[in-house]
Amino acid sequence: MDYEIVIGLEVHCQLKTKSKIFCSCPAEFGKPANENTCPVCLGMPGALPVLNKQVLEYAVIAGLATHCEIQTFNQFARKNYFYPDLPKGYQISQFDLPFARHGYVTINIDGKEKKINLTRIHMEEDAGKSIHGENLGQPEYSYVDYNRTGMPLVEIVSEPELRSSEEARAYLTELKAILEYAGVSECNMEEGGFRCDANVSLRPRGSEKLGTRTEVKNVNSIRFVQKAIDYEAERQAKVLDQGDKIVQETRLYDSDKGVTFSMRGKEEAHDYRYFPDPDLVPIIFEDDWLEKLKSELPELPEQKRHRFVKEYEISEYDAGVLTVDRSLASYFEECNSLYAKPKVSANWIMGDLLRELKNDDKEITDCPVTPKALTDMLTLIDDGTINGKIAKTVFEEMYQTGKTSEEIVKEKGLTQITDNSEILKIIDQILEANPSQLEEFRSGKEKLLGFFVGQVMKQTKGQANPGIVNQLLKEKLKAP
Ligand code: ADP
Ligand code: MG
Ligand code: ZN
């Protein structure tokens, strides 16, 4: 059977406040277990939550940045369930009155734009972390770390409008970029600051009715989300092809084995006995405050992409690569303020620079080659001091040592050879050393020009000006 895959994503994103959502404990990662806790986030009887105003502001900015309708009246609700990492026995979340609805994220695949609608965004507190003794050689014990309880989150729920794992990847990448650009989250995936539940179902292609979904919980890498979806789609197709039914359930992804497995049956909203949290007053936004936040929104990835295409005349694709990360985009813009050929800087950044960073597992913010250093080198190419091929070596050396291109060229004597008589001398040597190729060339095998150019470049360690070499060689080869 030919199936269509249907995906809806729920993303939990940690807002980058200094303190937790309802108490003043630091919202930091990596502290010794249970150090960042107090009676409020430990759920002691009688302790009262107080909403962190900065959480509200960041949340609303996230809503505005994703084109949501901000709900001027919204409210926190208790989601009741028992779990050792949830000391109160309920999680403070939002239910029927979330602060944002009906937004969208625009994704771009192969130059084609598609709007993915958002159902809602709500604020909630994070739970703690259970640590099971099996991994510590203590199978009879389990531990719990409450440092993460009360970390401020927004949950962003998409409509089931994604149609491939590739679209899911594009959606997550774009959403992450929007939240980073908007300055509301670090989206640190390794630390659980941006994680995704993927809801996946299949339906016969052409059918309107949604199939039964499974939900793969808490995947914290975009690549793994993509793999988990692909695995789930394949697994479900097998089940359906056998004539069996999909069980609606919550599953987990094992990234080592590359498989999903059942965690628990799916609970429904009514199982949680939601009710308005009586400890927290409803929230009413004032228009002036919303207007102020709206007017202060920074340029977002989509706008920046469009501006880059227009202003720098680079392709949609290049603009996409250069704006995924706000710091990378600034790097590119700084290059453009120093050097007037955006396409050339774009190619160097997207090619050599990103390759080196990737090899080193480094971020652009840690790049040892500054925009000034890179564009100085590009100027050396333009004024003929070095050729494009040598520039690759120079760049690598700049990256490794942090030296300037000028220093490297001087130290290693990499200046381009543009002196015709010097190049002619080498050409003569090469022709003399390769008489049979010369004869073949002269009897019509003109493809051999490439061979001779290669020999000359080799002899000059790549430093000859390739244009001059080509021209002089042609003249020499044709002359009897
Ligand atoms: P819950 O918290 O129970 O998972 P939500 O309504 O918060 O429910 O989230 C449901 C998510 O699942 C949404 O992202 C939605 O788009 C997606 N979804 C709902 N039905 C399907 C389906 N049949 N196939 C794929 N995704 C679905
Ligand atoms: Mg869900
Ligand atoms: Zn606390």
Tell me which of 260-269, 278-287, 424-433 is least confident. Answer: 260-269
- Residue nearest (by alpha carbon) to ligand 1 atom 3: 268
**Worst-scoring range by mean pLDDT, 69-83, 174-188, 324-338, 460-474?**
460-474
How many other C-beta atoms lie within 10 A of the C-beta of residue 255?
Answer: 13
Has residue 478 got a pLDDT over 90?
no
Residues 6+ apart with CB under 8 A from 454: none
Q: Ligand 1, atom 13: nearest CA belongs to which residue?
A: 8
Of all atoms in ligand 1, which is nearest to the CA of residue 210? 23
pLDDT at 473 > cutoff 90:
no
Percent share of the chain, pLDDT over 70: 99
In this predicted structure, the answer to whether residue 479 has a pLDDT above a threshold of 80 is no
For tokens 């594009």, name the residue: 170
Residue 418 has pLDDT above 90, yes or no: no
Q: With contact defined as beta carbons under 8 Å apart, do 252 and 217 qualify?
A: yes
Q: How far is the CA of 268 from the centre of ligand 2 (A)?
A: 9
> 203, 6 in Cβ contact below 8 A?
yes
Structure tokens at 259: 């498989």
- How many Å from the N-terminal Cα to the C-terminal Cα in the chain? 70
Q: Is the CB of 199 under 6 A from ligand 1?
A: yes
Tokens standing for residue 217: 């919980």
Assess whether the C-beta atom of 10 lies below 6 angstroms from ligand 1: yes
Ligand nearest to the CA of 248: 1
**Ligand 1 atom nearest residue 212's Cα:** 23
Mean pLDDT of the region 206-215: 92
User: What is the arithmetic mean of pLDDT over 27-41?
Assistant: 94
Asked whether 93 lines ligand 1 (CB < 6 A), one says no
Task: Please state the domain extents for the chain.
Answer: 3-291, 298-412, 420-477
Mean of all residue pLDDT scores within the chain: 91
Is the Cβ atom of 201 under 6 angstroms away from ligand 1?
yes
Rounded distance from Cα 150 to ligand 3 centre (Å): 7
229 CA → ligand 2 middle, Å: 15
| Ligand closest in space to the Cα of 151 | 3
- Give the model's confidence band at 458: pLDDT under 50 very low, under 70 low, under 90 confident, else very high: confident
Query: How many A from CA of 119 to the centre of ligand 1?
Result: 10
Q: How far is CA 94 from CA 73, 76, 102, 165, in A?
A: 12, 5, 16, 29
Q: DSSP for 416-463?
A: -B--HHHHHHHHHHHHHH-HHHHHHHHTT-GGGHHHHHHHHHHHTTT-
**What is the pLDDT averaged over residues 195-204?**
94
The predicted-structure confidence for 217-247, as pLDDT tens digits, reads as follows 988 889 999 999 999 999 999 999 999 998 8
Angle, helices 388-401 vs 371-382, to 10°: value is 160
Q: Indicate if ligand 1 lies below 6 Å from the C-beta of 19.
A: no
In which band, very low, low, confident or very high, does the pLDDT at 93 lie, cut at 50, 70 and 90? very high
Grade residue 123 by pLDDT with cuts at 50, 70 and 90: very high
Q: Indicate the top mutation candidate among 96, 154, 213 to test ligand 1's pocket, ranked by most ligand atoms within 8 A of CB.
A: 213
Q: Is the pLDDT of residue 43 over 80?
A: yes
Q: For position 435, what pLDDT does the model report?
A: 84
Query: CB of 210 closer than 6 A to ligand 1?
Result: yes
Say if ligand 1 is within 6 A of residue 8 CB: yes
b (16+ CB within 10 A) / e for 57-67: bbbbbbbbbbb
Q: Is 213 in the pocket of ligand 1 (CB under 6 A)?
A: yes
For residue 42, what pLDDT is reported?
A: 95
Q: How confident is the model at residue 269 (pLDDT cuts 50, 70, 90)?
A: low
Q: Tell me how far apart the alpha carbons of residues 215 and 232 are, in angstroms, rounded to a whole number.
A: 9
Tokens describing residue 391: 């520039």
Ligand lying nearest the CA atom of residue 171? 1
Confidence of residue 190 (pLDDT cuts 50, 70, 90): confident
Q: What is the mean predicted confidence (pLDDT) over 268-285?
A: 90
Closest atom of ligand 1 to 201 CA is 24
SS (H, E, C) 356-424: HHHHHCCCHHHCCCCHHHHHHHHHHHHCCCCCHHHHHHHHHHHHHHCCCHHHHHHHHCCCCECCHHHHH
Question: Which of 80-84, 230-234, 396-400, 404-408 has the weakest average pLDDT?
Answer: 404-408
What is the identity of the amino acid at 233?
A
DSSP string, 235-281: HHHHHHHTTPPPPPEEEEEETTTTEEEEEEEPPPGGGG--EE-TTS-
Is the pLDDT at 412 greater than 80? The verdict is no
Alpha-carbon dihedral of residues 232, 233, 234, 236, nearest 10 degrees? 80
Considering every ligand atom shown, identify the ligand nearest to the alpha carbon of residue 44 and give its number: 3
Does 186 score more than 80 pLDDT?
A: yes
Atom nearest to 160 CA in ligand 1: 16
Q: 10 Å Cβ neighbour count for 238? A: 10
Beta carbons of 463 and 390 less than 8 angstroms apart: yes
Encode pLDDT of 331-389 as tens digits. Answer: 999 999 999 999 999 999 999 999 999 998 888 988 999 999 899 889 888 888 888 88
Is a pLDDT exceeding 70 seen at residue 480? no
Rounded Cα distance between 464 and 472, Å, is 12
- Which of 3, 4, 10, 11 is the best mutation target for the ligand 1 pocket, counting ligand atoms within 8 Å of the beta carbon and taking the most? 10
Residues sharing a CB contact under 8 Å with residue 156, sequence separation 6 or more, in sequence order:
10, 11, 13, 62, 66, 118, 121, 175
CATH topology (fold) of 420-477: Arc Repressor Mutant, subunit A (1.10.10)
Residues 6+ apart with CB under 8 A from 216: 197, 198, 200, 225, 228, 229, 232, 251, 252, 253, 260
Which two tokens mark 121?
């965004």
Judge contact between 7 and 168, C-beta under 8 A.
yes
pLDDT digits (tens, 9 = 90+) for 147-159: 999 999 999 999 9
Q: How many CB atoms lie within 10 A of CB 316?
A: 15
User: What is the predicted pLDDT for the residue at 380?
Assistant: 84
